[in-house]
Chains A and B, each alone.
Chain A
Amino acid sequence: MSAGFRIFAVIAVLVIVGALISPSNYYFRVGTLVWINAVSVIGMVVLLGYVGLVSLGHAGFFAIGAYSVVVLPNYGLPPLAAAPVGVALAGLVAYVIGRPILKLSGYYLAIATLGFGILVWMVLTKEAWLTGGPDGGPVAGPNPKYLFRAIGIDMTTAEAWYWICGLVAAIGGGLIANLGQSPTGRAMRALHDSDVAAQSLGVDSARAKSVAFIISALYAATAGVLLSFANGYITPEVGGFMHSVEMVTMAVLGGASSVIGALVGVFLLTVLPQVLTIFAEYEHMILGAIMVLTMVLMRDGLMPAFLNLFKRLGRKS
């Protein structure tokens, strides 16, 4: 069984279990958010976990996806057709800006992506004629309830979106896990440890970085499209700096090097704010503390730390 299919199956089971234990539409909405975040953070796994590059501007790509299904329909494109156009646009932008800024690494890249994110955010808030400005605006998207009804299953809108987003996350996760095992993925992982060493083995580092950047942008934009449709409303916050930071935090908390690790981070940081009111009050402090503590105490994230613990316990007994 390939790694990709295994991850697909794991996520699919999680989606089904989630649906079985959700008692109300509210739970389905939280679950939908989990799977949407999962899509964007799984994209970060490629960039941050495989190649080892930090982006502080991925909310910009998320916003390109999210706003494309709001803006393009105003110019006559049906929302369902606008979605792939928006995702492709994010990929194109990633290709264009990635070429110059991926020559940089580490600090320079973090700063350049930070600047990109802020630029997108400025456009979202200042070009009100196009985006609705700081207040955002409604999204006239499709409703998958009717799709399910057409095949004879009756469910609420919230439930329908839950299944769609879960399916996208499962497929997306499977693809990334497969990528990790492929020659391209191995080339990316080689870059993680040392650019120079990987190049000396014949890895085209510029190309591998660019591919990783584009893939992560496509995932972020896909998540953006899903959020726009599922919420039916969009605000510029989706393109804000804090959203970029959240994506990085979710990825590093669980462990950015694997899809499952990323899912752990996504689950914790999406569900905890819903159940703990303290989270809403001290959101920034908690997010910041998590980033610092994770990096200081368990650099590879929760999942690898737990796996190591289990291994050590197993050896002792």
Chain B
Amino acid sequence: MSELLQFVLSGLTVGAIYAAVALGFTLIYNASGVVNFAQGEFVVIGGMTAAALIGIGVPLPLAILGAVLAGTASGVLLYQFAIRPARNAPLVSLVIITIGASIFIRGAMQTIFDKQIHRYDGFSGDLPIRFGGAAILPQALWIIGGAIAIFAFLAWFMRRTRSGRAIEATSSNRLAATLIGINTRHAVNLSFALSAFIGALAGVLATPITFTSYDAGVLLALKGFSATMLGGVGSPLGALIGGLAIGLIEALTAGYISSSYKDAAAFVIILAVLFLRPQGLLGRRIQERV
């Protein structure tokens, strides 16, 4: 029983990270119709930058701030230099562009930092907390709390602020949004910035537990996509639920079936979702122009 509890706790922890990736992915998809394959790279930028800053002795809060800023800036740059110039491009080109951007960021991470695996100490130490026969790291609470905070912030931002509502309007109908005077370009730009911000923050929170390296982004992106597809593309709540579900399934696979194939769980879920319920739990299918 305590074994199961242990798996559930670690599943929820990684699931919260996948949920953050999926939320960022949903945000960009809703605002611009682009599926951003570089989403996992934002997480890596956050983690690697924080590790480097902490490594040279920068205090933790400043390191977090620096890492999140670096991530957010990369999101804006991605939009301005790669996505916006190609906004009328067919979907195949957009896929290749965001893949290219993710490879570019990978290379940049490798050049600016190195090819090593990095981590730093948890924010509240690394002593496990005993909990009903299972143990949980304090950093896991930071991660889960962080994911909840991100979700709550987004819900507030989208409904209550002018900028957030501009993104919502752009998502539901870009032309109509333009007609009532919303600067949709600005809204899409903001969605990239927010999405990268969320990813980088998730990376900063997760690195003490998951570690990070320049090439960690691909698997994160794959899992984030699986989470999005499971939850239903376009639905933020679906992204949250999907992320947690993928994390749980992965942890249970690792615990009861095979730890070397836990990463395969995400792929199997993708296939199952596509077969049984292509619209996911809560969402709609990705619509493509004819």
Residues of A participating in the B interface, judged by any CB pair closer than 8 Å: 48, 52-54, 56, 100-101, 103-108, 110-112, 114-116, 118-119, 122, 126, 194-196, 241-242, 245, 248-249, 252, 281-292, 294-296, 299
Nearest 3 pairs between A and B by C-beta? A291-B100, A284-B107, A288-B104
- The reply on B35 being an interface residue by CB < 8 A is yes
CB distance from A119 to the nearest CB of B (A): 5
Is B93 a contact of A295 with CB atoms below 8 Å? yes
Is B108 a contact of A295 with CB atoms below 8 Å? no
Known contacts being A106-B92, A108-B274, is A292 close to B219, with CB within 8 Å?
no
CB distance from A220 to the nearest CB of B (A): 18
Number of interface residues of B (CB under 8 A): 47
Is B95 a contact of A112 with CB atoms below 8 Å? no
The A contact surface, by secondary structure, is: helix
What residues of A have a CB within 8 angstroms of the CB of B267 in the complex?
115-116, 118-119
Is A107 a contact of B290 with CB atoms below 8 Å? no
Is B270 a contact of A248 with CB atoms below 8 Å? no
> Would you list which residues of chain B between 210 and 267 have a CB under 8 Å from chain A?
218-219, 222, 225-226, 229, 260-261, 263-264, 266-267
- The reply on B111 being an interface residue by CB < 8 A is yes
A-B contacts counted at CB < 8 A amount to 134
What residues of B have a CB within 8 angstroms of the CB of A289 in the complex?
100, 104
- Chain A CB within 10 Å — which of B91, B260, B267 has the most? B267
What residues of A have a CB within 8 angstroms of the CB of B107 in the complex?
282-288
- The reply on B271 being an interface residue by CB < 8 A is yes
What residues of A have a CB within 8 angstroms of the CB of B35 in the complex?
107, 110-111
What residues of B have a CB within 8 angstroms of the CB of A115 in the complex?
222, 226, 266-267, 270-271
What residues of B have a CB within 8 angstroms of the CB of A248 in the complex?
96, 99
Give the residue of A110, A126, A285 whose beta carbon is less than 8 angstroms from that of B261. Answer: A126
The residue in chain A whose Cβ has the minimal distance to the Cβ of B270 is A115
Is A292 a contact of B100 with CB atoms below 8 Å? yes
The residue in chain B whose Cβ has the minimal distance to the Cβ of A299 is B93
Give the residue of A112, A194, A287, A299 whose beta carbon is less than 8 angstroms from that of B103. Answer: A287
Give the residue of A54, A194, A284, A288 whose beta carbon is less than 8 angstroms from that of B95. Answer: A54
Known contacts being A119-B264, A285-B108, is A106 close to B290, with CB within 8 Å?
no
The residue in chain A whose Cβ has the minimal distance to the Cβ of B86 is A296
> Would you list which residues of chain B between 89 and 142 have a CB under 8 Å from chain A?
89-97, 99-108, 110-111
- Contacts A285-B107, A295-B94 given; 17 further ones with Cβ under 8 A? A56-B99, A100-B275, A110-B35, A115-B222, A115-B271, A119-B264, A122-B261, A126-B260, A195-B290, A248-B99, A287-B100, A287-B107, A288-B103, A288-B104, A289-B100, A290-B100, A292-B82
The residue in chain A whose Cβ has the minimal distance to the Cβ of B266 is A115
